A and B are shown apart, each in its own frame.
Chain A
Amino acid sequence: LAKTTQPISMDSYEGQEVNITCSHNNIATNDYITWYQQFPSQGPRFIIQGYKTKVTNEVASLFIPADRKSSTLSLPRVSLSDTAVYYCLVGPFKAAGNKLTFGGGTRVLVKP
């Protein structure tokens, strides 16, 4: 599975946009990029997944450049409740057992 690198932590303020960039230089052709969110005392929760260009849902947007060696998770107008750890994962879609490897994640703190 492709190794990922993301910032350890980020601070933001309510109402701002938060962008978290993940590097995955050795991403394979059949790999997808997936982001999970983990609130304190809860299990990780799927946020968004993409293969190329841009994906948007009700929670976030995911921007993937043409070379796919990085991706950026964008959280629009964050609130205090968006304080969480965000994990970037890269791996093949529908892989046998869909094994995920979680890195250290990015700890996002939203301040009032």
Chain B
Amino acid sequence: DAGVIQSPRHEVTEMGQEVTLRCKPISGHNSLFWYRQTMMRGLELLIYFNNNVPIDDSGMPEDRFSAKMPNASFSTLKIQPSEPRDSAVYFCASSPQLYTQYFGPGTRLTVL
């Protein structure tokens, strides 16, 4: 079975540009999570969805970040405009309503 799929795997952009990260969760999983990981702050939960509905976005750093889940098989995390401090690895994870989450390979974002 395919795991969580994220694209792109690497993204390099310039400050001020819009960045869109994509995630395809494991089929049948009801919950989807977006995390950000940096050396300084570790692994932070940004937002999570349950049955395609955003449940908690308290981790979203500011209005420049937005996330959508238009259907059960797709989610996006958008940063507009991007800033150098947004450079990090962004992980998407999905869960079948249990306490186990399955993480994707991550997207390494570099904002110059």
Residues on A lying within 8 angstroms of B by beta carbon are 32, 34, 41-46, 49, 87, 91-105
Which among A45, A98, A104 is the interface contact of B95 at CB below 8 angstroms? A98
Is A42 a contact of B31 with CB atoms below 8 Å? no
Q: Complex: how many Å from CA A59 to CA B106?
A: 23
Cβ distance B100 to chain A, nearest Cβ, rounded Å: 5
Q: Are A97 and B93 in contact (CB under 8 A)?
A: no
Q: Mark B66-101, 1 if CB is under 8 A from A, else 0.
A: 000000000000000000000000010101011111
Interface residues of B (CB under 8 A from A): 4, 31, 33, 35, 42-45, 48, 50, 55-56, 91, 93, 95, 97-106
Asked if B31 and A98 make an inter-chain contact with CB atoms under 8 angstroms apart, the answer reads yes
Residues of B within 8 A of A97 (CB): 31, 48, 50, 55-56
**Least CB separation from A43: chain B residue:** B103
A96 with B55: CB separation less than 8 A: yes
Q: Which residues of B contact A93 (CB under 8 A)?
A: 98-99
The chain A residue sitting closest to B95, CB to CB, is A98
Inter-chain contact B55/A105, CB cutoff 8 Å:
no
CA distance A102 to B105 in the complex (A): 17
Query: Are the CB atoms of A43 and B104 closer together than 8 Å?
Result: yes
Q: Decide: A98 and B42 in contact? CB cutoff 8 A.
A: no
Min CB distance, B8 to chain A, in Å?
A: 15
Closest 9 CB pairs of A and B: A43-B103, A102-B43, A97-B55, A46-B100, A43-B91, A97-B50, A93-B99, A98-B95, A97-B48
